[in-house]
């Protein structure tokens, strides 16, 4: 993606451990010695079976939970500092919209908490709703919208403060296949328009391959990174999902998930 | 469309009520049942219509007591709920206390409050009503403040929201439907409590006093006419709450998609 500004490190994770109930009998090692560097402007997917710690890794980056050991930096500062400075936006599997607010007021929420005045935040929210093509629904209630539309509102909200980093925890996980593919295209378009760094948790292999520059493959018990698959599909379009490069990407990720990635934990796919 | 809808909602209960009253009337006439056992609906209606101004005055008095008790009880419950959602210790302290208070019988409470406060005033009755209102309001509102979707709390955390902001932006709006659920229970209860509190002396102008007085004078038709006035008062309280809920929370009553 040539028009995405590449830059320094957006996120760096060094020797990260996350252990729940450490020292207790129900101790669980969610992440074991995870290291990962994400470059600014990159689209990274985290994929793996349930319990592989992919969501936990995302939550540590977002300072929604603490690291047990290791160093994590977001845009050169600690996750806590990044959260305080609003250096990332987040979208979850549930849209987590507030039913008592209209669509536009939901998008305004982060700006309202930052103390923006009414006019400015309404203008910004409308701009974002236009980006996700929901400007006509600004004054609807969230529950009047379909699941895909609700998720687009949530994405607009995550972009409200214009953060450089977008964290997405299975945002399309609850959508049907057709809506899902449409949302994937939408997300890639937004990414092109905004140049955000995106960390995307999913357990859909085609989704990870279609969206990402790199797919980080994780395995469970203990959660760790077992491989990183480079994807190079160029500009995505309607036909991308039917190309050989796409299929070999899917195969490569699937093999890595099965632990077959012979010795190498770094492979390159679809190199032109 | 709404007109047809509301009509279709209204006629079944009206029909049932008419059938019920008709059967009641027939039963009384056919078996020549004496008014002290069961007064006929016609007798009650007669008493009601001939004394409408008295009915209104009694309902107004008791309604005022119920309203004051409802307002003060709700305010007290809201303060308790806000404390309980902030401090788990307070929650653990207040909840059993409120539950205990709710189980104290009115018949035991009222004479004590009558002695503690001026029996000739409305105060002890308002206090009884407050205590009755407190529990359903406290339980429901506290639940509404605490039962927030975890993902919404995570969102607030990601937005670096302080607990006070989260309270204002998320917890309080979330609790509003719960508030109305509590109020729908508490409002008719308030009327009953205000009425029963009148059975233990003090001013005689309320519905409870009138029912007791009429019954003591073997004027059963009149006693029942006051009972009807009490039911109407309770229903008015309930309907006002329902209307308030419709007006203030347009987002409830929809089918949830998530």
| A140 inside 8 A of chain B by CB | no
Of A95, A100, A109, the CB nearest to B258: A95
Buried b (16+ CB within 10 A) or exposed e, B37-68: eebbbebbbebbeebeebbebbbebbbebbbb
| B159 inside 8 A of chain A by CB | yes
Identify the pLDDT of residue B174. 95
Fold of domain A1-87+165-272: Rossmann fold (3.40.50)
- Do the Cβ atoms of A83 and B158 come within 8 Å? yes
Identify the pLDDT of residue B118. 83
What are chain B's domains?
Answer: 41-248 (1.10.3720.10)
Smallest CA–CA distance from B166 into chain A, residue: A113
**Chain A contact probe: residue of B148, B154, B159 with most A CBs at under 10 A:** B159
Identify the pLDDT of residue A34. 95
pLDDT mean over B52-67 = 94
Alpha helices in A90-170 (DSSP H): 103-113, 118-131, 147-158
Q: What is the spatial distance between Cα B56 and Cα A256, in angstroms, rounded to a whole number?
A: 81
Residues in chain A within 8 Å Cβ distance of B175? none
| B258 inside 8 A of chain A by CB | yes
Identify the pLDDT of residue B256. 45
Going by the DSSP 8-state scheme, the letter that residue B251 receives in this structure is T
Identify the pLDDT of residue B254. 57
Residues in chain B within 8 Å Cβ distance of A84? 160
Identify the pLDDT of residue A267. 53
Buried b (16+ CB within 10 A) or exposed e, A128-152: bbebbebeebbeebbeebebbbbbb
- Give the three-state DSSP class for A120: helix
Per-residue pLDDT tens, chain A, 272 aa: give them: 333 345 688 999 999 999 999 888 899 999 999 999 999 999 999 999 988 999 999 999 999 999 999 999 999 999 999 999 999 999 999 999 999 999 999 999 999 999 999 999 999 999 999 999 999 999 999 999 999 999 999 999 999 999 999 999 999 998 899 889 999 999 999 999 999 999 999 999 999 999 999 999 999 888 999 999 999 888 888 889 899 999 999 999 999 998 865 444 455 555 43
Q: What is the DSSP string of B52-84?
A: HHHHHHHHHHHHHHHHHHHHHHHHHHHHHHHHH
**Nearest alpha-carbon partner for A205 in A249, A140, A259:** A249
The token duo for B244 is 């308030």
Q: Where are the domains of chain A?
A: 1-87+165-272, 102-162
Average pLDDT, chain B: 89
Residue A36 C-alpha, separation from nearest chain B C-alpha, in angstroms: 22
Identify the pLDDT of residue B21. 93
Band of pLDDT at residue B8, cut at 50, 70 and 90: confident
Identify the pLDDT of residue B257. 39
Q: What is the spatial distance between Cα A172 and Cα A95, in angstroms, rounded to a whole number?
A: 10
pLDDT at residue B188 greater than cutoff 50: yes
**Chain A contact probe: residue of B150, B158, B168 with most A CBs at under 10 A:** B158
- Higher pLDDT among residues A23 and B67, named by residue: B67
The pLDDT tens digits of the residues spanning B107-162 come to 888 888 888 988 888 999 999 999 999 999 999 999 999 999 999 999 999 999 99
- Do the Cβ atoms of A83 and B151 come within 8 Å? no
- Do the Cβ atoms of A96 and B152 come within 8 Å? yes
- Do the Cβ atoms of A64 and B157 come within 8 Å? yes
Task: Give the CA dihedral B215, B221, B223, B229, nearest 10 degrees.
Answer: 180
pTM of the model: 0.85
Q: What is the spatial distance between Cα A249 and Cα A30, in angstroms, rounded to a whole number?
A: 27
The token duo for A233 is 């599909």
Report yes or no: B90 and B84 within 8 Å, Cβ to Cβ.
yes
Q: What is the spatial distance between Cα A159 and Cα A166, in angstroms, rounded to a whole number?
A: 8
Of B151, B159, B251, the CB nearest to A94: B151
pLDDT mean over B207-211 = 93
Cβ-based burial of A247 (10 A; exposed 0-12, middle 13-18, buried ≥19): middle
Phi-psi label, residue B214: left if phi above 0, alpha if psi -120 to 50, beta otherwise: alpha
Report yes or no: B81 and B142 within 8 Å, Cβ to Cβ.
yes
Residue B8 C-alpha, separation from nearest chain A C-alpha, in angstroms: 26
Identify the pLDDT of residue B36. 84
- The count of other CB atoms within 10 Å of the CB of residue A157 is 28
- The count of other CB atoms within 10 Å of the CB of residue B12 is 9
**Chain A contact probe: residue of B147, B167, B251, B255 with most A CBs at under 10 A:** B251
Q: What is the spatial distance between Cα A255 and Cα B122, in angstroms, rounded to a whole number?
A: 80
**Nearest alpha-carbon partner for A81 in A70, A72, A69, A68:** A72
Band of pLDDT at residue B4, cut at 50, 70 and 90: low
pLDDT mean over B98-102 = 84
Report yes or no: A237 and A69 within 8 Å, Cβ to Cβ.
no
The token duo for A242 is 């039917």
β-strand pairing of A28-39 with A43-47:
unpaired
- Give this complex's ipTM: 0.89
Smallest CA–CA distance from B257 into chain A, residue: A143
pLDDT mean over B191-220 = 91
Q: What is the spatial distance between Cα A272 and Cα A106, in angstroms, rounded to a whole number?
A: 43
Residues in chain A within 8 Å Cβ distance of B255? 143
Buried b (16+ CB within 10 A) or exposed e, A49-67: eebbbbbbbbbbbbbbbeb
**Nearest alpha-carbon partner for B157 in A69, A116, A148, A167:** A167
**Nearest alpha-carbon partner for B74 in B130, B142, B113, B144:** B130
| B176 inside 8 A of chain A by CB | yes
| B87 inside 8 A of chain A by CB | no
Chain-centre distance of CA A55, in angstroms?
Answer: 10
- Do the Cβ atoms of A141 and B250 come within 8 Å? yes
Residue B5 C-alpha, separation from nearest chain A C-alpha, in angstroms: 21
| A115 inside 8 A of chain B by CB | no
Count how many Cα atoms sit within 13 Å of the Cα of residue B170 in the half-sphere of its side chain: 25
Q: E strands, chain A, where?
A: 9-20, 28-39, 43-47, 69-74, 88-91, 165-169, 197-202, 214-219, 224-231, 266-269
Alpha-carbon distances of A2 from A191, A209, B96, B184, rounded to whole Å = 12, 18, 64, 61
């Amino acid at each position: 993606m040539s028009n995405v500004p590449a830059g320094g490190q957006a996120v760096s994770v060094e020797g990260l451990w996350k252990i729940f109930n450490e020292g207790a009998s129900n101790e669980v090692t969610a992440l074991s010695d995870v290291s990962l560097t994400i470059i600014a402007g990159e689209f990274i997917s985290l994929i793996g079976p349930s319990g592989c710690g992919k969501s936990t890794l995302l939550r540590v980056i977002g300072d929604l939970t603490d690291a047990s050991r290791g160093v994590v930096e977001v845009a050169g500062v600690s996750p806590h500092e990044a959260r305080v400075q609003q250096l990332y936006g987040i979208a979850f599997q549930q849209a987590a919209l507030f039913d008592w607010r209209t669509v536009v007021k939901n998008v305004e929420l982060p700006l309202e908490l930052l103390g923006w005045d009414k006019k400015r935040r309404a203008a910004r929210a409308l701009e974002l709703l236009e980006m996700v093509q929901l400007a006509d629904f600004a004054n609807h209630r969230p529950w009047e919208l379909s699941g895909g539309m609700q998720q687009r509102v949530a994405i607009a909200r995550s972009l409200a403060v214009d953060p450089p980093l977008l964290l997405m925890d299975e945002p399309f996980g609850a959508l049907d296949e057709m809506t899902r593919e449409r949302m994937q295209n939408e997300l890639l378009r937004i990414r092109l328009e905004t140049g955000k760094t995106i960390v995307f948790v999913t357990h859909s292999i085609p989704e990870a391959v279609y969206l990402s520059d790199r797919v980080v493959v994780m395995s469970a018990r203990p959660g760790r990174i077992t491989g990183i698959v480079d994807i190079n599909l160029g500009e995505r379009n309607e036909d991308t999902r039917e190309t050989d490069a796409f299929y070999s990407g899917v195969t490569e990720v699937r093999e890595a998930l099965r632990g077959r990635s012979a010795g190498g934990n770094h492979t390159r796919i679809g190199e032109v | 469309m709404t007109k047809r809808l509301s009509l279709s909602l209204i006629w079944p209960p009206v029909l049932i009520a008419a059938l019920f009253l008709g059967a009641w009337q027939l039963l009384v006439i056919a078996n020549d049942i004496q008014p002290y056992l069961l007064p006929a609906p016609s007798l009650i209606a007669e008493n009601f219509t001939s004394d409408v101004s008295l009915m209104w005055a009694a309902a107004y008095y008791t309604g005022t007591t119920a309203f004051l008790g409802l307002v003060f009880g709700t305010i007290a419950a809201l303060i308790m709920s806000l404390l309980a959602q902030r401090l788990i210790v307070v929650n653990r302290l207040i909840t059993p206390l409120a539950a205990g208070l709710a189980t104290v019988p009115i018949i035991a409470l009222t004479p004590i409050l009558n002695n503690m406060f001026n029996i000739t005033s409305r105060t002890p009755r308002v206090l009884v009503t407050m205590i009755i209102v407190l529990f359903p309001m406290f339980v429901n509102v506290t639940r509404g403040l605490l039962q927030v979707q975890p993902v919404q709390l995570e969102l607030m955390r990601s937005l670096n929201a302080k607990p006070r902001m989260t309270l204002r932006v998320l917890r309080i709006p979330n609790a509003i439907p719960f508030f109305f659920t509590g109020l729908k229970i508490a409002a008719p209860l308030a009327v009953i409590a205000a009425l029963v509190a009148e059975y233990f002396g003090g001013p005689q102008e309320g519905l409870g006093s009138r029912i007791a007085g009429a019954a003591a004078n073997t004027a059963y038709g009149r006693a029942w006419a006051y009972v009807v006035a009490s039911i109407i008062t309770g229903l008015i309280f309930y309907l006002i709450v329902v209307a308030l809920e419709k007006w203030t929370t347009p987002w409830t009553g929809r089918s949830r998609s998530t």
